[in-house]
Structure 1
Amino acid sequence: MTRSNVHDGWHLRAVGGPVPVHLADREVPARVPGSTHLDLLAAGLIPDPYLDRNEAELAWMHRVDWQYSTTFEARPPRDGERVDLVFDGIDTVATVELNGEVLGHTANMHRGYRFDVGRSLRAGGNDLTVTLWSALTAAERAEAELGWRQRAYPHPYNAIRKMACSFGWDWGPDLQTAGLFRPVGLERWDTARIARVRPLVTLDDDGTGRVEVHLELDRAADHDYTAEVVIGGHTARTAVTGDLAHVTALVPEARLWWPAGYGDQPLYDLTVTLLADGRQVDAVHRRIGFRTVTVETEPDEIGSPFTFVVNGRRVFAKGANWIPDDHFLTRVTRDRLVRRVDQAVAANMNMLRVWGGGIYETDDFYDVCDERGMMVWQDFPFACAFYAEEEPLRSEVEAEARENVTRLVAHPSLVLWNGNNENLPAYTDWEGWQDSLEGRSWGGGYYTDVLPEIVAELDPTRPYATGSPHSPGDLPPNDAHHGTRHDWDVWNSLDYTHYRDHVPRFSAEFGFQGPPTWTTLTRWIHDEPLTPTSPAFLAHQKAVNGNRNLDRGLAPHLPVPTDFEDWHWATQLNQARAVAFGVEHYRSWWPRTAGALVWQLNDCWPVTSWAAVDNDERPKPLYYALKHAFAPRLLTLQPRAGRPTLVAVNDHDEPWTGTVRVTRQVFTGAVLAASVLRLSVLPRSIVLLDLADHLLEPTDPTREVLVATTADARTHHLFREDLDLRYDATPFTADVTPEPGGYRVDVRATSYVRDLSLLADKVAADAVVNDMLISLTAGESHHFLVRTAETLPDPTLLLHPRVLRSANTSASLT
């Protein structure tokens, strides 16, 4: 089989709906893969949708119908040759025509389409058009036919198989993309082709790697067909009868694939070849990794655990939720994915949850996760809504699930299929939702029958979860003692210290908002003056009561500044502290709690959100807080039996032994009480260490800090909130020195300094600092490394009080 891309010569024009005068009868060059927004932006016909309030100005695009067209050269098929026109992804409702003949219609962004064009293809130029009908209009029409169903946002995203967050979310824009967003190709083949291949990878008890390769063929002619599988220098073959084949390949002493932090990630090249009368007619290549994965769910004395077990070892899942990394999906390149997953690995994460309001990600995403040991929890695309289980939606759901389970089955990083995001508690717990159905279907059959049956048939090597959150049986889905939990009470109404109210078995979502980095914010928002309530800033705050919750979250801990730049820093700091507080709490309860997936790692546009990395790829202070809180070895002070207790968390294969020095000292450095504790923590375990009363009873709680230190970890505990602490407002001295590739900033504390951070992007847009949120006692030193391609005319700008910041100055703001 040969494939040639059909990516050249495309043009775009509006063909229906509220088309602006300046676009009427206008045709512009189009990129494929691409989208209508990006084509119009490249032609200078619309403003950048991410800039200021332009999103709202482009709402007319929701109702417009578009047509992509191109003419490509091709020869008609030879005798016995098949020619297929293949669309890997169309967004979303479309009519495809070749040389005036309608090839078919599409209504699902989450699947590909293949059309036999042998009879339509002609010598020379072939005219191809794809008419994209307004997804919003199509969704409204489908809703009218199938019946209204509740959803979390106004548009009927639940009536169409399209990326839900394309219609807006509480962190994303309402742009409703349209386009040919994945490759288009012309495939020629004769004899037969491999239509589908599913390598099911398991391990025998003796360590032999077993690959059960299942093939489906498209035949154009009758021959003696043989399927051959080659992996790791081992070859297996079988004769093919009919259109199905099954080949078993064995790899003795297979090297195991491990999650990040648990071992290496060896990958094996797998080649599946189809032979006709001994001649190769098609071949498919995959990379696989040998590992086993289960989820431990058997009831225990507490309830029902939810613990990932990889290669027989229980794993604490440290990670984050993943959304599309750009609202315009074609801008998410492999290089960008590498950078993002590398950021997750560097923050000591080992799992990303591909959230159900987005997409089944690209092959590049899973390849990168395979290479780096990043486990992937994959939601099926259902989120925060009820879904009709009748036709035509039902067939689309089945088709997309079959296609994507088959496509992704080879990836060792994929460790869980999950039925939906929050639709189970929506049905059982969300006020008025169930009553609104009036007997209509809501999607439950997908999650309990259709999807698990497809997974059991096509991918029995992986576990399936009914939803997130989910508890077994008739228990409330969000029960902390069972299964998975989402904790949104903190963000919505409670102080972040209330994370400790629950000890979940697995926390699959929790988080707190903060604005993007200063350079990202000021690149995209240009209000004068810039304030938390200025128009463009509010256009990039999508959460209901978002700013109110930011200020409510600040109030118990830090002053709410009136100066915007100070407010920006304070809310970023509070976001970092809030989420780290939750992570440390969850980790301190291992193995009862077996996972903490923060909402969220990334952003899809410049926005105030829960993300750790903003849309311009800059890490926020939260990112560094997660890096510390997810460290392999962690010291944290947690309440146990009514008193603060030191918890040592060892997420490492080696024992953690030595001593912990614990001191209570005044901010100026004088030690008032001290103790040395023996430390011995088994691999992948925790230990609780009691602290003597003289360490926990301050003489002046407003001027003292408790510090626990080992060779590998450290924690600080303050006896009051920052509002009540008598910090020194100028607690350090600092110098800056040029270094190859950037600068070194050396800091020496003259008094206790908390959460020292270098906001280097304020000085150079490309600047990245190696760490943040460093706390030092009097007399201690620390150096920051700033990487930038710029030569700063005045490097001392890195020492400016609005660049080199700490909680000390935040607490003294008025």
Structure 2
Amino acid sequence: MRLQPLAVGASLAANLHWVTADPLVFLNGQVVAIPSWDLASSASIGTNLAALSKTGVDTSSWHHVKTSKCTLIGCLINAGVYNETHLFYSENLKKVDERQFAVPWTYRNEYRLEPGAGKHFFLKTHGISSRADIFLNGKQVASKAEQAGSFAGRTYDITKLVDKQNALAIQVHPTSYYHDFALGWVDWNPWPADNGSGIWRDVEVKQTGPVALETLRIVTKLGPTFERLKDPATVTLKARAENLENRAITVTAHGSVFAPFGRKAPITWSKQLTLPPRSVTDIVLETTVPDPAIWWPKQWGEQPLYSGALAITVNHTVSDSITQQFGFRSVTSKLNSYEDITYIVNHVPFQVIGAGYTPNIFLQFDPKKWEAELQYVLDLGFNTVRLEGKNEHPILYEIANRLGIFLMPGWECCDKWESWSYNHDLFLNPPPVWSPADYTIANNSMLHEAAMLQPHPSVLTYLIGSDYWPDERATPIYLNALKHHDWQTPVVGSASKRGYSPLTGPSGMKMEGPYDWVPPNYWYETDTPRAGSAFSFGSELGAGVGTPTLSSLQKFLSASDLQDLWKSPTKPLYHMSREGSEFTKREIYHNALVARWGAPASLDDYLIKAQIMDYEATRAQFEGFAAKWTAKRPATGLIYWMLNNAWPSLHWNVWDYYMKPAGSYYGAKTGSRKEHVVYDYVKKEVWIVDRTIDNFYRERSVDIQALGLDGKVKFESRVNVESLPNASRRVAGLYGSGALGNLTEGVFLRLVLRGRNPTVGNGEERVLSRNVYWLSKDLDRLRWDKTTWFVTPVEGYANYKDFNKLATADVTVGAERRGEKEVVVNLENRATVPAFFVSLELLDQAGNDVLPLTWEDNYVTLWPGEKMSLVAKSVGSGAWQPASVRVGGKNVKQTLAVVS
């Protein structure tokens, strides 16, 4: 039975169930991914692609891969040769034999087509790492010199090569991160044994009539000011049309713009033109949308998505057609007097708050996980994700379009992409000089990525450099490629201030660390701006935290690995960074933990102290940047290092590989609230943060209360204040002798933000933010003069050891389901002392974590007598079978409550 065609321009990449008797494509304008592969090493099958690409080859002894795209190891996992769980356990990944991937491997598939008069066929590649030879039906389509570069998608006319039954063979060559344009891992994690070689994005077949269209570019123009955003908007549909025949052809170009949710009738129009023989003509169709629905990042509004479609007909028959999702939004940028970049979205200054993303170490295609990850991003209060050299697949951008999250794609650092004579940080020194062929690969790569990304409203910018800027030959290549595809958002020369091309000007971004542990007061040392503290745009920086909880650790660490985690701080740990980097040990972190909280008595003691450290570190960083958004030298953006991990890791994440949020997650979530109240550790001041853009001031109150470790009130006050939209402001100083000016012991500080919103509900006062700090009488003392590229040393530590002596708190727990996808947990602290750092974990009947999920809040500190209800919500469409909730804390005995 023949599959029903999708809507014009849609992709069939996910469909793996084609019946072999049916053609792969059978309609003009249809694009279909090769759905599966037979895979074998040249060590066993040789390299005669002319023979291997003929029909009827016996592949029964090959590996059979039921996916359209996978790197070599990813394919072998799919075929059952390897098991990811086993590979990730302890040091098993080391045991994979790299020699098997030192030779070419061949991907092969047979499929049917219906060639005939007037039909044309194309083979489209989108990502093969890093070089490949391509043969079809015994004939060469492309050599490894042509199909080169992991992002260099190409389109090959295969019309003269196709038959009814077709055999495609793609031989991928071993990838070198230092010599090829690949997807590298720098020091993020150990490198996979195959170096990511393979077909990691779809290979597609397209059928057209006598005229074929390239990708659709959609150019929008909005009103010139915020007040005029709803003015009629201009939409221009553009695509290059190729006349494939040796005769002039008169065509009709049909344009369509479809409104979100079908709320309005589509706008359709057309024009006729004649294409010269064997020519390429840019089709341009322009229309006006009278009342555009504006796309906003989620923190500021809705995400209405339009669709644009362009079709070419010849003699009333469709020759080719393409569709693309888009949104009405404007993104620009400017440099302030300090040459710091500020992004401006829909004419409103936009503080970037986000983190750096990584795909799976084997580049596995997993849209369900991406959906859950971006739901986490929203739950955290982030608005942006940076993709350094990991531009992923179109579906990731489609998810981000729908959810209202900005993405920052760009090229990666530290390998062939930045092999410039002035880059002295590369492993190979002197760096390999780019050849003329390399500039061609760079051009092909930028052309492909620009075409893929251009229409998506979720794309904030493109970084054509990371640690270093491209040279004076590569820079115009990148800029011209982006211009070729009508790029509309800012192009940034690099993510650092090391230098720049005159063609781009200064980047306005800093990359001065840290990447390892620093104390919370680090971020507030801004009177004299230093290193990574909260000023300018920090393109990648963080305190190097992200310790998984015990249930996650036990999935990938052996008993001896767990011992090393808390007992051997000077020993390199395999689940940190790549061997040989500065980040294979937890020594800096461990030394701070011991000095501040005391030597751990057990693994459990170590982990609770680690979660406290992680929470404190991420909260301070995000709060510091939020509070300094409207400072004299503003903190215009923050990309936390990192968002997630490519495999189970012991640092550099906001949530762990298994999607379990812990201390670093909830610290970041607290620090990134839309309306929030913040404590400045350095100046002992309270600040209010308002990240909305509502055009009215709102009355707010801040309750400030300090408690001693005995639970007695040390200080309390209420301050009334008006919030300023898209701004921060000082509320109060706590440096006086009656407040926190002369601490003699540790205290808890609670800040509660309350307010009324006349436009929401009945205007009753409600809690908008609740924030609890644990404070030592002394701050950690930083040695700024000893700052390195990755850390600022600490010469004297804050002392939190008294917090270990807290009396045990009595916390009662009740849990019940609410609807299909929620659990409510009710807590009450019946003790006379605070219940410090209370954590909640939702478990199934077998005692395993229920994931992915979000908690309204977690790792909370309850005042004596305080009650609190916290809601857990399921993320995604997976099974939701919570049976119990495990509750524990620094001074709270672990208990298990049944979910009723």
Structure 1 pair 195–807 and aligned structure 2 pair: CA distance change class (3 A): farther
Contact persistence 1:210–1:249 (CA under 8 A)? yes
* TM-superposition CA deviations, 1:123-159 (whole Å, max 9, x none): 4x333211122123xxxxxxxxxxxxxxxxxxxx242
Contact persistence 1:702–1:726 (CA under 8 A)? no
Shift in Å, 1:395: 0.4
Residue matched to 1:455: 482
Residue matched to 1:332: 366
Percent identical pairs in the alignment equals: 17
| SS of residue matched to 1:423 | coil
Residue matched to 2:751: 708
| SS of residue matched to 2:596 | coil
Shift in Å, 1:774: 1.1
Q: How does 1:749-768 map to 2 (within 5 A)?
A: 750=831, 751-760=833-842, 763-766=847-850, 768=853
* Alignment pair present for 1:470 and 2:460: no
Structure 1 pair 85–556 and aligned structure 2 pair: CA distance change class (3 A): same
The equivalent position to 1:129 in structure 2, one of 165, 169, 186, is 169
| Distance (whole Å) between structure 1 residues aligned to residue 125 and residue 500 of structure 2 | 41
The equivalent position to 2:232 in structure 1, one of 208, 215, 238, is 208
Contact persistence 2:648–2:656 (CA under 8 A)? yes
| SS of residue matched to 1:69 | strand
The equivalent position to 1:198 in structure 2, one of 205, 217, 238, is 217
| Distance (whole Å) between structure 1 residues aligned to residue 751 and residue 849 of structure 2 | 36
Aligned letter for 1:709? Answer: V
| SS of residue matched to 1:271 | strand
| Distance (whole Å) between structure 2 residues aligned to residue 626 and residue 80 of structure 1 | 58
Aligned letter for 2:545? Answer: Q
Structure 1 pair 695–296 and aligned structure 2 pair: CA distance change class (3 A): farther
| Distance (whole Å) between structure 2 residues aligned to residue 556 and residue 456 of structure 1 | 54
Shift in Å, 1:398: 0.5
Residue matched to 2:140: 102
Aligned letter for 1:257? Answer: W
Residue matched to 1:402: 447
Residue matched to 2:711: 669
* Alignment pair present for 1:118 and 2:204: no
Shift in Å, 1:411: 0.8
Gaps of 5+ in 1: 137-156, 425-442
| Distance (whole Å) between structure 2 residues aligned to residue 595 and residue 719 of structure 1 | 29
Contact persistence 1:540–1:608 (CA under 8 A)? yes
Aligned letter for 1:112? Answer: G
Residue matched to 1:747: 828
Shift in Å, 1:784: 3.7
Structure 1 pair 173–557 and aligned structure 2 pair: CA distance change class (3 A): farther
Contact persistence 2:129–2:149 (CA under 8 A)? yes
Structure 1 pair 61–168 and aligned structure 2 pair: CA distance change class (3 A): farther
Shift in Å, 1:79: 2.2
| SS of residue matched to 2:659 | coil
| Higher share in helix | 1
| SS of residue matched to 2:618 | helix
> How well do the aligned residues superpose, as a CA RMSD in angstroms?
3.3
| Distance (whole Å) between structure 2 residues aligned to residue 769 and residue 266 of structure 1 | 25
Contact persistence 2:329–2:345 (CA under 8 A)? yes
Residue matched to 1:538: 573
| Distance (whole Å) between structure 1 residues aligned to residue 309 and residue 550 of structure 2 | 48
Q: How does 1:33-432 map to 2 (within 5 A)?
A: 33-48=69-84, 49-58=87-96, 59-75=98-114, 77-105=115-143, 106-123=147-164, 125-136=165-176, 157-165=177-185, 169-170=188-189, 173=192, 175-205=194-224, 207-221=231-245, 222-231=248-257, 232=259, 233-242=266-275, 243-297=281-335, 299-300=336-337, 303-324=338-359, 326-333=360-367, 335-356=368-389, 358=390, 360-383=391-414, 385-387=418-420, 388-424=433-469
Contact persistence 2:218–2:455 (CA under 8 A)? yes
Contact persistence 1:256–1:290 (CA under 8 A)? yes
Q: How does 1:7-22 map to 2 (within 5 A)?
A: 7=34, 10-16=37-43
Aligned letter for 1:667? Answer: L
| Distance (whole Å) between structure 1 residues aligned to residue 109 and residue 485 of structure 2 | 37
| Distance (whole Å) between structure 1 residues aligned to residue 163 and residue 523 of structure 2 | 66
Farther-moved stretch of structure 1 (382-391 vs 179-188): 382-391
| Distance (whole Å) between structure 2 residues aligned to residue 56 and residue 363 of structure 1 | 32
| Distance (whole Å) between structure 2 residues aligned to residue 37 and residue 258 of structure 1 | 39
Shift in Å, 1:785: 4.0
Q: How does 1:727-742 map to 2 (within 5 A)?
A: 727-740=805-818, 742=823
Shift in Å, 1:400: 1.2
* TM-superposition CA deviations, 1:724-764 (whole Å, max 9, x none): 44652412322233435656352315212333222446942
Shift in Å, 1:30: 2.2
* TM-superposition CA deviations, 1:440-477 (whole Å, max 9, x none): xxx423664322333344334211111002377799x9
Structure 1 pair 697–320 and aligned structure 2 pair: CA distance change class (3 A): closer
Structure 1 pair 464–791 and aligned structure 2 pair: CA distance change class (3 A): closer
Aligned letter for 1:33? Answer: K
Shift in Å, 1:628: 1.0
Residue matched to 1:679: 721
* TM-superposition CA deviations, 1:589-630 (whole Å, max 9, x none): 112112122111122211112111222222232111111100
Farther-moved stretch of structure 1 (5-14 vs 783-792): 783-792
Give aligned pairs, total: 746
| SS of residue matched to 1:531 | helix
Q: How does 1:347-746 map to 2 (within 5 A)?
A: 347-356=380-389, 358=390, 360-383=391-414, 385-387=418-420, 388-424=433-469, 443-445=470-472, 448-470=475-497, 483-489=508-514, 491=516, 494-501=518-525, 502=530, 503-511=534-542, 512-528=544-560, 530-532=562-564, 538-542=573-577, 544-591=583-630, 592-638=634-680, 643-652=683-692, 653=694, 654-691=696-733, 693-697=736-740, 701-711=744-754, 712-717=768-773, 718-720=775-777, 721-725=799-803, 727-740=805-818, 742=823, 744-746=825-827
Contact persistence 1:758–1:772 (CA under 8 A)? yes
Aligned letter for 1:163? Answer: L
| Distance (whole Å) between structure 1 residues aligned to residue 483 and residue 155 of structure 2 | 26
| SS of residue matched to 1:713 | strand
Shift in Å, 1:551: 0.7
| Distance (whole Å) between structure 2 residues aligned to residue 460 and residue 553 of structure 1 | 47
Contact persistence 2:572–2:584 (CA under 8 A)? no
| SS of residue matched to 2:536 | coil
| SS of residue matched to 1:369 | helix
Shift in Å, 1:2: 4.5
Aligned letter for 1:418? Answer: L
| Distance (whole Å) between structure 2 residues aligned to residue 521 and residue 262 of structure 1 | 37
Superposition TM-score, scaled by structure 2 size: 0.77
Aligned letter for 2:827? Answer: D
| Distance (whole Å) between structure 2 residues aligned to residue 490 and residue 607 of structure 1 | 15
Contact persistence 1:647–1:688 (CA under 8 A)? yes
Shift in Å, 1:46: 3.7
| SS of residue matched to 2:128 | coil
| SS of residue matched to 1:330 | coil
Shift in Å, 1:704: 3.2
Gaps of 5+ in 2: 1-27, 47-58, 260-265, 276-280, 421-432, 755-767, 778-798, 895-900
Residue matched to 2:14: none
| Distance (whole Å) between structure 2 residues aligned to residue 792 and residue 3 of structure 1 | 44
